[in-house]
Structure 1
Amino acid sequence: MKDIFFDLSVRSVRLNFLRSLLASIGIVIGVVAISSMGMLGTNMQLQVKEQLSASANTITITPDAVRMSPGTTASTGIDKTQLNEIKEASGNNIVIPIHRSSTRFTVGSTNGRGSIYGMDPNDITKFLTISEGDSLNGESDALIGSTLATNLGIKIGSRLKIGEDNKSVTRPVVRVSGILTARGMTADGVSADNAIIVSDDWYTSHFGNQDLYDQVNVIVQNVDSIPDVESAIDEKVNRRTQVIRISDASSRLSNISSTLGTITTFILAIGAISLVVAAVSIFNVMMMSVNERIQEIGILLSIGTEKGEVRRMFLYEAFILGIIGAVFGGICSLVIGYSVVGAMIGSTAYFFLPESIIYVPEGMLIGVIVCVISGLYPAWRASNMDPIDALRAE
């Protein structure tokens, strides 16, 4: 059965189309803000999850924070004894000790900065992939991360001077023998994309700490055995006091996801502010509609129209404004969200996954609800007018 009150609402929106459209723009902006930011946060989490899953079989072991009394100093690191205990507790799994530091370097006339890792050349290919060139053949050979190579134009055969530019000291030089495949964010504690990889002998001869490692990675053969391996290492090395920290992809993913979730929630809260502004605009439009149609309301009430029917007529109008804003906002969210995700993350591979795209209908639904809520008071006010006073209004 045709609802005449819905037709009256459509007529009101059509007669005041420009005003209604301008009011709906606020809803469009709110829907776009919530949907786009929600999709951006979700895509970030999905990409991080996939990147970390690439090193899901790696346990990362680092020295615990040193507790020192005032005026005392100590070197931090995993010593030979602890390394042997880790190897013993790890069983048949691969154990890779790693030296790590941050350094400045010069290639040609260009200065750069990155991480430098020292490790056994035989261990490198166990978890890193070389895209160009060869592994470490000579003592002064080095592997370069893909990001450093791209940004600084480093090629196979390029020579890098390691350390600060100091004329009184001859800086050591390494020759680039290979360029590593891009890895992105990983859970194994090795940021290879911005790194220089050298042999452990070369590293310790120039940076020291020959028997003190900054990190030890354990690559397990069976991912399901990670908890057991971690427990065995902890019991073996931390038996008296905690001297090492043990983490894996799942713990890192949990921490990163929690951080990204907090950021996403904060961004969504900012986007929701635009919906509050839109709600005020819709409320204003609805109040104007009520004031302009006082005599019409008086006639409807005087001929026996129920108060609920009058309320429904104005709620219909608010609902129509919400639908208009939500539909346009949903379409714009797909276009703008896709562009934002591509620009901020560099990949839209996860954009159309259910976890991401769900923000569009959710944003549209929120937009419609905000409009209907904004129309509640104007609808109530219209339905509670005195018919005689309404008919006298000019």
Structure 2
Amino acid sequence: MTDGYRTILASLAVRNLRRHAVRSSLATVGIVIGVIAVASLGIMGSSLSALFGGLVSDVSDTVLVTPHLAASSGDPFDPRNTLASRLSERDVAEIEKAVGQNRVIPMIRASERVTVGDTGGYTQVYVLPAEDIPFLLEKEAGLYPQTTSSGVMVGALLADEFDLHPGSRIEVGGENVRVVGIAAERGMGIDINPDYAVIVTEAWYAGRHDEQGYSQVVVKVGDLDEVGEVKAAIEQQLNRREEEVDVLDSREILEIYYETSDAISVFLIGIGAVSLFVASVSILNVMIISVTERTREIGLMRSIGAEKREVMVMFLYESLILGIAGSVVGGLVSVVVGYYVTASVAGFLTGFVAADGGTAILSPAAIGYIVFGVLFGIAASVIAGLYPAWKAAQQSPIEALRYE
């Protein structure tokens, strides 16, 4: 088959698609939606993975110790671990004994109602020994809370939202307190997420609550090469007789994040693939109708010498054109859709809309999902056109010419 003959077949395919513009457009829209679903959902999954990696990458020196529960998975982000359970002063002493010179920071996580003016709501409260707050958090303005002080520190984003600054007065748990400092924006981490939180000293909290024990203990390891040894030492010290604590380092938690995000990505792409499959069925239907309507034309072509292969190629061109048009448009639209979806998800997870969504969408992985969606859409369209094209090529010229 010469290039000129291929051009003629392609022009015949374009002519038929134009003759049935509405039907062709509807089939193309299906491909557009399918490609958008595959590409944008893939981008969202990729961005989630990148976001998760960023959440813990800055605390690679951290070992997290939490109370062990019979129902616990060991994952500190597992909802089952929100059950009331505490680490005692004795547990903290045992951890300090196990880790040697490395920093041990006991912490209580609580929830209190915070009121600023006429606006109020519940937010996270982190309770820390006063001497550990400067070690764990940087300050943006003001001072760190002191053991003898009744002041509190607030996260940067909470301060921005309510226009707080050192010296502002807020209510925490119904008590009017003074904001002495603003913590620098830090983002989420496995140890502490202070941006929308209130940070108070252990002495301040103990004077107002009877709660005993700690929610978790954060161990900061000076030498990253010793993280595994420190973790093993803690487990050996506290879990000798029975499992009392769960010990995770940031690398394990990052692995949990990646496994979760990979599973989400596969699931999301699967949803998009189903949409694309439905669109390919639409193309299959359009092509079968086209073959039926052009039976006499097929008979005429065969009677003047057209081969089966050439008839088949002509109809495959139709499905290919539909696939290319729909896939390219879908790929372009998915860039915009993926950006806004990713930015929204990032804002929901981190409590604010950051530039992570925009960065992730331009990453090689995101571009790869767009290319994959486009190629998938084209391939699905061609596959959908195979049977109708084969059916058209197998028709007898005489029978086709007699078709009414």
TM normalised by structure 2 equals: 0.87
Report how far residue 304 of structure 1 moved.
4.3
Look up the SS of the partner of 1:125 in the other structure: helix
- Is 1:375 the counterpart of 2:377? The answer is no
Look up the SS of the partner of 1:116 in the other structure: strand
Letter in 2 for 1:23: A
Look up the SS of the partner of 2:135 in the other structure: coil
Matching residue of 1:34: 38
Alignment of 1:231-246 (within 5 A): 231-246=232-247
Give deviations 1:61-110, integer Å, cap 9, x for gaps.
1111279xxxxxx9832222221221121122111111222112333333
Alignment of 1:1-394 (within 5 A): 1-17=2-18, 18=21, 19-65=23-69, 76-137=85-146, 138-163=148-173, 171-188=174-191, 190-209=192-211, 212-345=213-346, 346=353, 347=355, 348-394=358-404
Query: Partners of 1:220 and 1:10 in 2: how far apart?
Result: 70
More deviation, 260-269/244-253 = 260-269
Q: Sort the Cα spacing of 1:228 and 1:309 in 2 relative to 1 into closer, same or farther, 3 A.
A: same
Query: Partners of 1:380 and 1:79 in 2: how far apart?
Result: 75
Q: Sort the Cα spacing of 1:65 and 1:225 in 2 relative to 1 into closer, same or farther, 3 A.
A: same
Letter in 2 for 1:180: A
Q: Sort the Cα spacing of 1:84 and 1:385 in 2 relative to 1 into closer, same or farther, 3 A.
A: same
Look up the SS of the partner of 1:155 in the other structure: coil
Instruction: Return structure 1 stretches of 4+ with deviation > 6 angstroms.
Output: none
Report how far residue 132 of structure 1 moved.
1.7
Q: Is the 8 A contact 2:53 2:257 kept in 1?
A: no
Report how far residue 3 of structure 1 moved.
5.0
Letter in 1 for 2:196: N
Matching residue of 1:166: none
Letter in 2 for 1:186: G
Report how far residue 175 of structure 1 moved.
1.3
Query: Partners of 1:391 and 1:130 in 2: how far apart?
Result: 85
Matching residue of 1:70: none
Q: Sort the Cα spacing of 1:66 and 1:359 in 2 relative to 1 into closer, same or farther, 3 A.
A: closer
Report how far residue 353 of structure 1 moved.
1.1
Q: Is the 8 A contact 1:107 1:158 kept in 2?
A: no
Letter in 1 for 2:182: I
Q: Is the 8 A contact 1:144 1:176 kept in 2?
A: yes
Report how far residue 277 of structure 1 moved.
2.8
Give deviations 1:36-70, integer Å, cap 9, x for gaps.
11101211210120121111211111111279xxx
Query: Partners of 2:151 and 2:70 in 1: how far apart?
Result: 34
Give deviations 1:104-125, integer Å, cap 9, x for gaps.
2333333221122221222112
Q: Sort the Cα spacing of 1:333 and 1:14 in 2 relative to 1 into closer, same or farther, 3 A.
A: farther
Give deviations 1:287-338, integer Å, cap 9, x for gaps.
2321232223213333443323322221122112111111111222223222
Query: Partners of 1:360 and 1:392 in 2: how far apart?
Result: 47
Look up the SS of the partner of 1:78 in the other structure: coil
Look up the SS of the partner of 1:174 in the other structure: strand
Give deviations 1:103-159, integer Å, cap 9, x for gaps.
123333332211222212221121211112111145201111123223333332122
Report how far residue 364 of structure 1 moved.
0.5
Query: Partners of 1:299 and 1:81 in 2: how far apart?
Result: 93
